[in-house]
Structure 1
Amino acid sequence: MEKNRVLLVDGMALLFRGFFATSFRGNFMLTKSGVPTNGIYQFMRYFLDAVETFEPTHTICCWDMGSKTFRTELYQDYKGNRGEPPIELIPQFDLVKEVVEAFDMPNIGLENFEADDCIGTLAKAYREEHDVLILTGDQDMLQLVDDGIKVAIMKKGTGNYDVFTVDNFLEKKGITPRQVIDVKGLMGDSADNYPGVKGIGEKTAIKLIQEHESIDQLLENLDNLPKGVQTKIKNNLDMLHMSRTLAEIKCDVPVQCAIDDALWNYNEEKLLKKFDEMEFNHLAKLIRTTV
């Protein structure tokens, strides 16, 4: 029997990407009542293209639920380099979920955790019986690649994807999916604002993990490392452990979604009504022609 194909969408990644892809030209796509919708419109374009490309049988969208999570409790500067979202984006956070809902597609999120953790948990739960594909622009998700789990990284433009699988991962990255966590523990992540080991960049981090397989084995062989690397690690040992914890996506958070609730099967009338409300005339035409 053919397996279901479950598409897990990283909602925030698509919304932010969509917003900034259009807003730099000052194009906020205001409705007649003055509500900006550019991020949602682009989100929909990305999403519908992915559905056409990968032909899922089931779809779920996962979201962050505010900026405070267990990671900010562990390390208060986590993502502390990010300013407030642009004022034109703020109303789109709730509206985009309404549009997703109009597809009868589950919106999943959990206080105190990130969308990544919800995606990781659902992916691991589904992978035994279904084929899972994660749609994101976020390289952090690559650690989730496994038997039954692929990650499609969105590239520039619409319709360009770099798909990572168990079979091609080592060739593409030079490390295994699990080793992504240890590499990030060493090099840190400037986007998420945690430092890793000061003075160790991506190249050195990858080389060290290729040679020693994991941070644990690296620390066991610390005395055999070059003096400069030894010193850097010894001076930043606590931050190394902290960074590795921050980098790891939690795959055991209390979220679930019955697979039948995620069936890709929307009510055209309900959807077109929502698109009409949002003044998405072009998308409405697209939906009419593809049905």
Structure 2
Amino acid sequence: MLVDGMALLFRAYYATATSGYIRRTKSGIPTNAIYGFIRYFWDAVQKFDPSHVICCWDLGGSTFRGQQFSAYKGNRPEAPDDLVPQFSIILDVMDSMGVPNISAEGYEADDCIGTLATQFSKDMDVMILSGDHDLLQLVSDRTTVIIMKKGHGNYKVYTPQSLYEEKQLHPRQIIDVKALMGDASDNYPGVRGIGEKTAHKLVQEYGSVEGILDHLDQLSKSVRTKIETDLDMLHLSRKLAEIHCSVPVACGLEICELSLDEKTVADKFEELEMKSLCNLLGVVV
């Protein structure tokens, strides 16, 4: 199981922060995101029973996508003050559980996940845990993407078959759809004036961006004009949407086998004043 660490951490933070209550240690260190992260993480481990686990993270700072398009993710607010100190603490917590933390400078967690999924799926089945639908482009016969839905313990599992049943798209076509419609959360526009519905229809009918461009004469004058006007942005948006699967990261199977050292875990949870999580994990204090 490859875990999208940031997706889980942000979800865990906002699940409690919106109520106005932030869990803290006696010394005032905020821990609500860490507590929620472990609950989400362990629920998925129990439900899907992976033999090996790796957690992938964004490093912050510039990425190759930001160099290609300066406004990439430029609309995102700074992380909340109470979340910032929890970024480093959660890495220590995962270390204590024997789960490797993987990241790569200049790349995003998605790229690390894509690279590791490509490597491991040659020999074993891979599960990706996230809330990010961008990762659906990685679905394959040996890679399932588990999307966390609203509500604790609620998941949608995507295989090539279930993805096609729901969206009438093959995994690689997710990239083409995003190239056309853009991505508001990542702050790139795609083709201005083409929304999700039209993007899906075009990709379903013509197969890919190349297929659409080969049949421009068959499109309505309005759609054709929009694509021709924004052709450069269409190609750039496609590059931004595609997850890179050849990032310089690796992790040996023996390192990521899931096996808790109960004392190490118990000591870490006690340090963070989260002893109740020991019961959740079945760890003897």
- Tell me the TM-score normalized by structure 1: 0.96
Corresponding residue of 1:26: 20
Instruction: Give the equivalent residue in structure 2 for 1:179.
Output: 173
The corresponding residue for 1:4 is none
Aligned to 1:68: 62
Please give the per-residue CA displacement for 1:95-153, whole angstroms capped at 9, x wherever unaligned: 00000000111000001000000000000101021110000000000000012100000
2:251 is aligned with what amino acid?
C
Q: Deviations over 1:24-56 (max 9, x none)?
A: 111210101100011111110000000000001
- 1:39 paired with 2:28, answer no
Which residue of structure 1 aligns with residue 250 of structure 2?
256
Structure 1 residue ranges (4+ consecutive) displaced by more than 6 angstroms after TM superposition? none
Structure-2 residue corresponding to 1:166: 160
Instruction: Look up the equivalent residue of 2:110 and give its one-letter code.
Output: D
Aligned to 1:234: 228
Letter of the 1:248 counterpart: E
Distance 2:85 2:186 in 1: 24
Q: Is the 8 A contact 2:262 2:284 kept in 1?
A: no
Partners of 1:214 and 1:290 in 2: CA distance: 54
Correspondence for 1:213: 207
1:113 pairs with 2:95: no
Q: In the TM superposition, what is the alpha-carbon distance from 1:281 to its structure 2 partner?
A: 2.2
Distance in 2 between residues matched to 1:261 and 1:118, nearest whole Å: 16
Cα offset, 1:224, TM superposition: 1.7
The Cα of 1:287 is off from its aligned counterpart by: 2.4
TM-fit CA distance, 1:289: 6.2
What is the CA–CA distance in structure 2 between the aligned matches of 1:258 and 1:116, rounded to whole Å?
19
Counterpart check, 1:153 vs 2:147:
yes
Amino acid at match of 1:184: K
- What is the DSSP-based 3-state SS (H/G/I as helix, E as strand, rest coil) of the residue aligned with 2:98? coil
Shift of 1:284: 1.7
Whole-angstrom distance in 2 between the partners of 1:230 and 1:125: 39
Consecutive unaligned residues of structure 1, counting only runs of 5 or more, are 1-6
Scaled by the length of structure 2, the TM-score of the pair is: 0.98
- In the TM superposition, residue 290 of structure 1 has moved relative to its aligned partner by 8.9
Matched, 1:144 2:176: no
Gap regions ≥5 residues in structure 2: none
CA change 1:112–1:289 in 2 (3 A) is closer
Separation (CA, whole Å) in 1 of partners of 2:205 and 2:131: 28
Specify the SS of the correspondent of 2:176.
helix
Q: How many residues get paired?
A: 285
What CA deviation, in whole Å up to 9, does each residue of 1:211-250 have, x standing for no partner?
1000011111112210000110011111100100000000
2:50 is aligned with what amino acid? P
Q: Give the alignment of 1:185-224 within 5 angstroms.
A: 185-224=179-218
1-structure distance, mates of 2:280, 2:75: 39
Instruction: Give the deviation of 1:282 after TM superposition.
Output: 1.6
The separation in 1 between residues aligned to 2:282 and 2:110, in whole angstroms, is: 33
Tell me, in whole angstroms, the C-alpha distance in 2 between the residues paired with 1:229 and 1:130. 43
- 2:123 aligned residue: 129
Alignment match of 2:263 (pick from 269, 283, 286): 269
1:68 offset after TM fit, Å? 1.3
